[in-house]
Amino acid sequence: MVRRDFAPTATGLLTAAPFFVAGLLVGLVVGLVLALVAGPFAAPLAAQEIQRTALHDYRVVTVADGFEVPWSMTWLPDGDLLVTERPGRLRIVRDGRLLPNEVAGVPDVLANGQGGLLDVVAHPDFASNRLVYLSFSKPQGGRASTTTVVRARFENDALTGVEEIFEAQSSGAGHYGGRIVFDGAGHFFLSIGDRQAAPRGDLEAHPAQDLASHQGVVVRLNEDGSVPADNPFVGQAGALPEIWSYGHRNPQGMALHPETGDLWATEHGPQGGDELNRVEAGLNYGWPVVGYGVNYRSGTAIHEGTTREGMEDPLHVWIPSIGTSGFMIYDGDAFPEWRGHMFAGGLSGERVDRIQLENRRVVMSETVFHDMGRVRDVRQGPDGLIYVALEERGGGTTAIVRLEPVG
């Protein structure tokens, strides 16, 4: 077994060895359990060996399992955990158990490739308005679809009053983005990928560089889906007023910094070049004109270079790609040394990286979790623990697990 997916940092290399050993042990235990039950499904992840990282040691504990591509999760004030499954189901984990019935009222999705039911976020005032927001790939006939947001009331384990509040002007195959973040000031952000538009020829003519489409952008909307009057491109001819930032490839991780209120996002690069960006109003994040990736398989150049005046440099780059997915910034009490640090999930990298910044510069990155499957989402729970949504790897089961501090 050759590990190829660690970031080329000294910290990553130093932490690789113990994780490798731990991974082998976990593999042996899981293999033994599988051999004993001899069933078609992998056994739930059991409490694992203690995992050691630079600042905190932890244990992995299974919260619930049996999901199909769990894409996102959000907690409600009564303790329920809502989980989206990409094929189009919204599920409830209640009292540590995944309820068998899906939530009624979820809109139809185009469950194809990267498309399906994507994010679920409870409104910040859910306790009084019971609103949840969902993003998904809305079917538009044939194989066409686009990133769309609905909001609805969640009552009696069903959605009612489902209201479509935004439909992106985009077309293409995958790269839906789909992450929703409330800013606590009456707005929400939504990431939208470039819909897999191939960068060819004139890179500046790519849709992610074109303000007349929603491809490769972050939009900012009022909570009812209307356009805030202070958005950066309001009133600019030829620009869609919902756009907050552009030049993104496929941002699927996004979070507000709990102290500064800044918006941060991770996005998939091509082969190499996943990025962490601080996402600011009106700025251009460069895709596909500048970046660190190359074309899949051929390895040929995509970009004209890695940096250009007027385009934002990423603050962290993963080479090779980890397939960035969910993203969070920690502010809980369970892991006090991790407060203010960023946690980025990776699909192909099957891991969660911790990223530490000082004055908006990355001073340390470390892989803190890996080898338990593709990581689709990483979130801080109301208990301050870190929850990781794992999706299928090699036909095994899927689970939501959490990291609990040890010592």
Residues marked as catalytic: 175
Tokens of 359: 């004055």
Exposed e or buried b for every residue in 36-60, given b needs 16+ CB within 10 A?
Answer: eeeeeebbebeebeebebeebebbb
Tokens of 24: 């082998």
What residue ranges bind Ca ion (CB under 5 A)?
285-286
Q: Smallest Cα–Cα separation from 221: which of 308, 141, 148?
A: 148
Element housing 16 (H / E): helix 10-37
Q: Smallest Cα–Cα separation from 113: which of 24, 71, 175, 45?
A: 175
> Nearer Cβ to Ca ion, position 286 or 349?
286
> Nearer Cβ to Ca ion, position 49 or 304?
304
d(C-alpha 51, C-alpha 23), whole Å: 10
Cα-to-chain-centroid distance, residue 320: 18
> Minimum Å distance from CB 216 to Ca ion?
10
> Minimum Å distance from CB 39 to Ca ion?
45
Tokens of 233: 């491109």
The secondary structure of residue 127, as a DSSP letter, is H
**Which residue lies nearest Ca ion, judged by its C-beta?**
286
Give the residue carrying structure tokens 């940096």: 307
Contact 331, 258 (CB under 8 A): yes
> Minimum Å distance from CB 206 to Ca ion?
12
> Nearer Cβ to Ca ion, position 285 or 330?
285
> Minimum Å distance from CB 96 to Ca ion?
41
Element housing 131 (H / E): strand 131-139
Strand partners, 263: 256, 279
d(C-alpha 231, C-alpha 225), whole Å: 13
> Nearer Cβ to Ca ion, position 80 or 313?
313
> Nearer Cβ to Ca ion, position 277 or 325?
277
Task: Tell me how far CA of residue 405 lies from CA of 59, 157, 215, 338, in angstroms.
Answer: 6, 32, 40, 11
> Minimum Å distance from CB 291 to Ca ion?
5
Exposed e or buried b for every residue in 298-308, given b needs 16+ CB within 10 A?
Answer: eeeebbeeeee
> Minimum Å distance from CB 314 to Ca ion?
5
The secondary structure of residue 106, as a DSSP letter, is P
Contact 354, 372 (CB under 8 A): no
> Minimum Å distance from CB 284 to Ca ion?
9
> Nearer Cβ to Ca ion, position 122 or 294?
294
Q: What single letter denotes the amino acid at residue 162?
A: V
> Nearer Cβ to Ca ion, position 286 or 320?
286
Contact 365, 12 (CB under 8 A): yes
